[in-house]
Chain A
Amino acid sequence: MTKQALTIDHEACWGCRTCEVACKQEMNAPDGVRLISVLEEWPRSSDGKLDFQFHVRMCRHCEEPPCAEACPEGAISKRADGIVVMDFDRCVGCKECIDACPYEAIDYDMSRGIAQKCNLCHHRVDKGLLPACADNVCLAHCIYFGDPAEMEQKILEKKKMRRGWGETIPKAIAYSKGS
C-alpha cells in the first residue's frame, strides 16, 4: 500500500499559524486542545550566531508509535498506509499515551476527559481529500502530503531553488547568509 505522510519544510515556515486554524475549522477541537501548533525556536548556528525559526508540533505518525504501545485500551493503531489513528471513542483518558509521546504531540481534552491527537484527517484522506492543514492553506506552501520519500525529494529541490539566483550577482558582492 502507498505510504501517506505529512512532511513539513520547516525552513520555509513563516509562523503564520494558518495550519492551526485550518485544523480547528476541520476538527473543532476545544479551546486548549491543539492537534497542530507552531512553536518558536532559537537554535544557534555552528558559528554561535542565534537563529530564529518555527517548528510545527504535531503527531509524527511514528514507524513504531510508542503511544500505541502505551495505550491499555488498544485505542491507537497504525494503518497500512502509515497513518496512526487514535479512536477517541475508545479512549478512557488514562493519559498513558501523553506520557509516552516523545514529541509532546498529544493533548488532553478536559471537556471530554480524553486524549486527542492528529489523525491526519484520515476521514478526509479516505474520501480522496487532503488533510485540512495540507490543503493549500499555508502561505509558505511548506506542508506536503503524500509518499514521504517523494515529498522529501521535493523539499530538497525547493531548498536548492531558494538559493537559486546566486550566479546572477557579481562575485564581489555575493554574500552568504548572516555575513
Chain B
Amino acid sequence: MTTPKPGRNDGAEAPSRRELLAAAAGAAAALIIPATAAISATAPETGLVLHRGWVLRADDLPRLKRA
C-alpha cells in the first residue's frame, strides 16, 4: 500500500524536490575552484570570459586578485 506523501506542487516544497535542490547545491559547491585557476575565453567580442562556470567581465579576475 502506498503511503500518500504530503507535499506541495509547482515543483516547490515537494520532499523529492528539496532533496534535488540540496544535491544540486552540493554538486555546485564542489565544482567551484579558486579564482587563480585557468581562464577560458568564451566570447571575446563581448568582453566576457568564462571562468570555471562563472561568466565574468574581462577585468574581474585581475581586480579580484588584488581584492
Say if A and B assemble together.
no
Instruction: Give the interface of A toward B (CB within 8 A).
Output: none
Instruction: Give the interface of B toward A (CB within 8 A).
Output: none
